[in-house]
Amino acid sequence: MTTLATPNTVILGIETSCDETAASVVLGGNDVLSSVVSSQIDIHARFGGVVPEVASRAHLESIIPVVQEAVRLADIDPARIDAVAATVGPGLIGALLVGVSAAKALALVWDKPFIGVNHMEAHLYAGLLDDPTLQFPLVVLLVSGGHTMLVEMIDHGMYRLLGRTIDDAAGEAYDKVARYLDLGYPGGPAIDAAAEQGNPEAINFPRAMMHDGLNFSFSGLKTSVINYVRKNPNVSNIDVAASFQAAVVDVLVAKTIMAAQQVGATGVVLGGGVAANSRLRAQLQSQGQLNGLRVAVPSRAMCTDNAAMIAAAGWHRLGTNGPTAMSAGANPNLALPVVA
């Protein structure tokens, strides 16, 4: 660690990669002084998914009020901010550029470093932010609308990709099934709510690749659900939702435990938007404990997109890599930096 990132370093984090405009002030890499998230869910709901141009316009309108609120809630003088971090990818390019432009402008005026942060890496830090006592190596299950992956956190900045989806992301399957069942948008919370009243054992949907390595596949499951409902038009939606959710969660949990055992991890961490799912949270906790693993299930606010994780990851990046050049842009396809 260089002297750039110390326990006294205050970082303003900005996140605009998808449909949340977020800003947060974090002290010393893990003390969250404020975390503000302005969600656009309502404005995208009628389209049944995030519309990039609509998202970018909303980010531009919200960025200053959100940053202002984060600084106000942190109750600090802006002069106390030592660096400004923003998500530079992956995400929607037009959306990312609003946050990157704002962060660079603030860094310029305050004469402080700018730090470009990888959104996926930030999700890995969300668990540590919630529980700083976790010890490496850790296995992180990252599940969202755009990603489903198992990552080994060997150390700070050292990650190994253990498995990933070969087709749809888990969150994508949720959205598609929810749309098919007409349960609403976003699909995750809609199915979660419906599933709570249904029977998870009503229909035995396939658990794809259950015992076949650490990769995932969800597109077949989505098709089975649609075929089942077509053949059984009188089936109850809540039973379909509960059984679909059980199939997704079974696979996610089994592979996470398998991955942790393979690499000798001390614990497992849950992250990403789908990590807000109640069955996934409960199952991972009970299965982890059964297998002698420490399970970190961060708060729902920390699992979904937020800027506290951006500031926290930014603190580590600043310490290891130093500031990012002011000539940096955004990269919609930015990959997680992994070791071989």
Partner 1 sequence: MLILGIETAVEHVSVALADHRGTLATSLLASDRRHAESLVPMIQFVCAQAGINTKELDAIAVDTGPGLFTGMRVGIATAKSMAWALDIPVIPVCSLDILAQRVTRCDDIIAAALDARRGEVYWALYRPASDASPIVQRLTEPVVTVPDDLAALLNERAQMVVCVGSGIERYKDTIDFVSTAQCAGPAYAQPHAQELLIIAAQRAIREEWVSASDIEAMYLRAPDAEINWATRLTARDH
Rank residues 103 and 270 by Cβ distance to partner 1 and give the closer one: 103
Site string for partner 1, 9-48 (x = CB under 8 A): -------------------------------------xx-
Establish if 223 lies at the interface with partner 1 (CB under 8 A): no
Rank residues 109 and 166 by Cβ distance to partner 1 and give the closer one: 109
Establish if 63 lies at the interface with partner 1 (CB under 8 A): yes
211 neighbors 66 (Cβ within 8 angstroms): no
The two three-digit tokens of residue 26, written as one number = 């974090």
Measured distance CA(110)–CA(117) in Å, rounded: 19
The two three-digit tokens of residue 304, written as one number = 């979904």
Measured distance CA(314)–CA(325) in Å, rounded: 14
Q: Write down the least CB distance from residue 328 to partner 1, Å.
A: 7
Q: Write down the least CB distance from residue 238 to partner 1, Å.
A: 29
50 neighbors 58 (Cβ within 8 angstroms): no
Residue 46 has a CB neighbour count (10 Å cut-off) of 8
Residue 335 has a CB neighbour count (10 Å cut-off) of 11
Considering only 60-68, 178-186, 233-241, 262-270, which stretch makes contact with partner 1 by CB under 8 A? Answer: 60-68
Site string for partner 1, 104-133 (x = CB under 8 A): xxx-xxx-----------------------
Q: How are strands ordered across the β-sheet holding 138-143? A: 158-164, 148-155, 138-143, 267-271, 294-296
Establish if 234 lies at the interface with partner 1 (CB under 8 A): no
Q: Write down the least CB distance from residue 94 to partner 1, Å.
A: 5
Q: Is 39 helix (H, G, I), strand (E, B) or coil?
A: strand
Rank residues 267 and 314 by Cβ distance to partner 1 and give the closer one: 314
Measured distance CA(157)–CA(315) in Å, rounded: 11
94 neighbors 238 (Cβ within 8 angstroms): no
Candidates 6, 57, 161, 226; binder of partner 1 (CB under 8 A) is 57
Candidates 101, 217, 219, 236; binder of partner 1 (CB under 8 A) is 101
Candidates 39, 80, 94, 229; binder of partner 1 (CB under 8 A) is 94
Candidates 36, 102, 194, 246; binder of partner 1 (CB under 8 A) is 102
Listed residue (138, 134, 183) closest to 159, CA to CA: 138
SS (H, E, C) 218-271: CHHHHHHHHHHHHHCCCCCHHHHHHHHHHHHHHHHHHHHHHHHHHHCCCEEEEE
Considering only 52-60, 137-145, 281-289, 332-340, which stretch makes contact with partner 1 by CB under 8 A? Answer: 52-60
Q: Is 163 helix (H, G, I), strand (E, B) or coil?
A: strand
Candidates 54, 161, 229, 301; binder of partner 1 (CB under 8 A) is 54
Q: Write down the least CB distance from residue 304 to partner 1, Å.
A: 23
Residue 61 has a CB neighbour count (10 Å cut-off) of 12
Establish if 68 lies at the interface with partner 1 (CB under 8 A): yes
Site string for partner 1, 72-91 (x = CB under 8 A): ------x-------------
Q: Is 193 helix (H, G, I), strand (E, B) or coil?
A: helix
Map the footprint of partner 1 across residues 278-337, applying CB under 8 A. 326-330
Considering only 65-73, 201-209, 276-284, 290-298, which stretch makes contact with partner 1 by CB under 8 A? Answer: 65-73
Q: What are the residues binding partner 1 (CB under 8 A)?
A: 46-47, 51, 53-54, 56-57, 60-61, 63-65, 67-68, 78, 93-94, 97-106, 108-110, 326-330
